[in-house]
């Protein structure tokens, strides 16, 4: 008996399997190609974001223009400095093996009253308040060109647009300080100044002197004028001291920050090395204005010549100083009502000889302190800031 041959059917099956194999192989190649392009795009997006972050931080730092300290602030100069810093920082980064450019139209300089509110628009109506820089870095037809695809071209996709944005703010409104392992010590001087005297200084009263100049490039102090007014902290020092306010205790004194009394050794350590976490543990871990905007600190209305060398050692370095509204009692029983903090630098020190010649000369200065605690909308402090931080 004869049976029909079946090999043609097997041949047809083998042919169908070969076609399916080719289709599957082509699909796998396509998916692999797309995966390579997607991986490349993810890398470019990361580079764009890194560039935007760095550029925004660089721009925000430039908003602290020294002209603010001299009372001659020109918002135009600060804005231009911020934009230039953004463009320079972007140019130092690499996106897809090239340095991107940032158009001026992709740089927004403005003000955020509450940087923690992600829905708040950046205000641009009052340049004197500007504290924020937002940057957009592109790879599209507007700037730097779109990103060229490789294997996706097989599917008809030749290029794609990518961009990244970031916003950085220099937060003011400092209401206190908290020391952690990350922040390091709080750079607060254990000295207190009457807030009214401080305000007179900032108003550039004729009573204010300008006998010393600070060079931010060399970080040195020399005799001469730099346009920033100065104040002699030493009590009763004569013409170079702005008018005292309040009680006969004057407009200046030392304050005790921490559980120890304000001994010379304790003051010396805080002047040189800052206020420590152990000092602040006495207040529950942070030195901070209360809900009513005040803080009581015990202190002394006098000033020991024993801290002369310590003050000399920090000349030119920016420090915060507590500002008080009133002081009651005298000597080491004095109680100061602290209402804010001011940024200063010590310019000259002489605590020897006749009282009329003694002086601790300071001038306003920007203080960037990682231990600073800020409260949106607080106007209690002057020239004291957190470091520039990314907020968006």
Note the pLDDT tens digit of each residue in 338-351.
999 999 999 999 88
Residues 169 and 131 sit within 8 Å (Cβ to Cβ): yes
User: Quick one: 160 and 254 in the same domain?
Assistant: no
Give me Rg for the CA atoms of the chain.
Answer: 31
247 pLDDT tier (thresholds 50, 70, 90): very low
* Predicted local confidence at residue 153, as pLDDT: 72
User: Quick one: 161 and 256 in the same domain?
Assistant: no
State mean pLDDT over 130-137: 96
Give backbone dihedrals phi and psi of 33, rounded to 5 degrees, phi first: -65, -45
CA separation for the pair 213, 211 (Å, rounded):
7
User: Quick one: 253 and 145 in the same domain?
Assistant: no
User: Quick one: 160 and 223 in the same domain?
Assistant: no
User: Quick one: 161 and 209 in the same domain?
Assistant: no
Residue 146's Cβ-count burial label (10 Å; 0-12, 13-18, 19+) is middle
User: Quick one: 237 and 164 in the same domain?
Assistant: no
Q: How far is CA 206 from CA 227, 239, 290, in A?
A: 13, 11, 35
* Predicted local confidence at residue 11, as pLDDT: 54
Judged against a pLDDT cut of 90, whether residue 18 lies above it is answered with no
For residue 256, being part of any structural domain is answered with: yes
User: Quick one: 49 and 185 in the same domain?
Assistant: no
CB count in 10 Å sphere of residue 348: 18
Tell me the whole-structure pTM to 2 decimals. 0.81
For residue 4, being part of any structural domain is answered with: no
User: Quick one: 70 and 107 in the same domain?
Assistant: yes
* Predicted local confidence at residue 357, as pLDDT: 76
Domain end (from 125, 145, 169): 169
Judged against a pLDDT cut of 90, whether residue 275 lies above it is answered with yes
240 pLDDT tier (thresholds 50, 70, 90): very low
* Predicted local confidence at residue 334, as pLDDT: 84
Angle in degrees, 0-180, between the axes of helices 7-61 and 75-91, rounded to the nearest 10: 150
**Residue 253 structural domain:** 174-390
158 pLDDT tier (thresholds 50, 70, 90): confident
Domain end (from 169, 190, 212): 169
Domain end (from 136, 169, 202): 169
User: Quick one: 222 and 243 in the same domain?
Assistant: yes
For residue 135 the two structure tokens come to 């940057």
Judged against a pLDDT cut of 90, whether residue 15 lies above it is answered with no
**DSSP of 84-126:** HHHHHHHHTS-BTTB-----GGGEEEEB-S-TT-TTPPPB-S-
Give tens-digit pLDDT for 206-222: 557 889 999 988 999 99
Judged against a pLDDT cut of 70, whether residue 13 lies above it is answered with no
For residue 283, being part of any structural domain is answered with: yes
* Predicted local confidence at residue 244, as pLDDT: 47
Residues 296 and 336 sit within 8 Å (Cβ to Cβ): yes
Per DSSP (E only), the strands in 161-264 are 162-169, 174-178, 191-194, 212-215, 220-223, 231-232, 252-255
For residue 43, being part of any structural domain is answered with: yes
For residue 50, being part of any structural domain is answered with: yes
User: Quick one: 293 and 151 in the same domain?
Assistant: no
For residue 189, being part of any structural domain is answered with: yes
User: Quick one: 189 and 151 in the same domain?
Assistant: no
For residue 193, being part of any structural domain is answered with: yes
- Residue 256 or residue 67, greater confidence: 256
* Predicted local confidence at residue 345, as pLDDT: 96
State mean pLDDT over 151-167: 85
User: Quick one: 101 and 231 in the same domain?
Assistant: no
201 pLDDT tier (thresholds 50, 70, 90): confident
* Predicted local confidence at residue 238, as pLDDT: 36
For residue 2, being part of any structural domain is answered with: no
* Predicted local confidence at residue 206, as pLDDT: 52
State mean pLDDT over 154-178: 91
Number of domains in the chain: 2
* Predicted local confidence at residue 245, as pLDDT: 41
- Chain-wide mean pLDDT for the chain? 85
CA separation for the pair 11, 241 (Å, rounded):
107
State mean pLDDT over 184-207: 86
């Amino acid at each position: 008996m004869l049976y029909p041959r079946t090999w043609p059917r097997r041949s047809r099956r083998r042919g169908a399997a070969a076609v399916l194999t080719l289709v599957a192989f082509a699909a796998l190649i396509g998916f692999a190609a797309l995966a390579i392009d997607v991986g490349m795009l993810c890398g470019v997006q990361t580079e764009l974001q890194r560039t935007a972050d760095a550029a925004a931080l660089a721009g925000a730092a430039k908003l602290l223009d020294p002209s603010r300290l001299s009372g001659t602030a020109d918002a135009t100069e600060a804005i231009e400095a911020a934009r230039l810093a953004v463009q320079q920082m972007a140019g130092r980064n690499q996106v897809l093996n090239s340095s991107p450019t940032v158009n001026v139209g992709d740089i927004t300089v403005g003000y955020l009253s509450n940087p923690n509110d992600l829905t708040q628009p950046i205000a641009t109506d009052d340049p004197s308040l500007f504290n924020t820089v937002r940057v957009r870095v592109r790879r599209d037809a507007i700037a730097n060109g779109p990103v060229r695809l490789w294997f996706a071209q097989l599917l008809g996709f030749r290029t794609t647009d990518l961009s990244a944005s970031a916003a950085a703010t220099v937060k003011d409104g400092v209401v206190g300080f908290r020391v952690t392992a990350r922040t390091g010590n709080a750079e607060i001087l254990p000295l207190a100044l009457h807030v009214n005297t401080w305000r007179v200084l900032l108003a550039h009263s004729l009573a204010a002197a300008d006998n010393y100049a600070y060079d931010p490039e060399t970080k040195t102090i020399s005799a001469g004028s730099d346009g920033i007014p100065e104040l002699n902290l030493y009590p009763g020092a004569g013409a170079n001291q702005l008018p005292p306010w309040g009680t006969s205790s004057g407009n200046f004194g030392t304050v005790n920050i921490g559980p120890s009394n304000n001994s010379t050794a304790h003051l010396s350590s805080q002047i040189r090395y800052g206020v420590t976490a152990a000092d602040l543990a006495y207040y529950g871990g942070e030195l901070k204005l209360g809900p009513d905007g005040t803080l009581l600190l015990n202190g002394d209305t006098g000033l020991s010549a024993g801290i002369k060398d310590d003050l000399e050692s920090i000349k030119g370095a920016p420090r915060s100083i507590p500002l008080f509204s009133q002081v009651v009692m005298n000597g080491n029983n004095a109680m100061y009502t602290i209402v804010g903090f001011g940024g200063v630098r010590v310019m000259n020190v002489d605590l020897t000889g006749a009282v009329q010649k003694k002086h601790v000369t300071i001038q306003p200065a920007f203080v960037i302190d990682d231990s600073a605690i800020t409260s949106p909308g607080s106007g209690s402090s002057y020239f004291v800031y957190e470091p520039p931080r990314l907020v968006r």
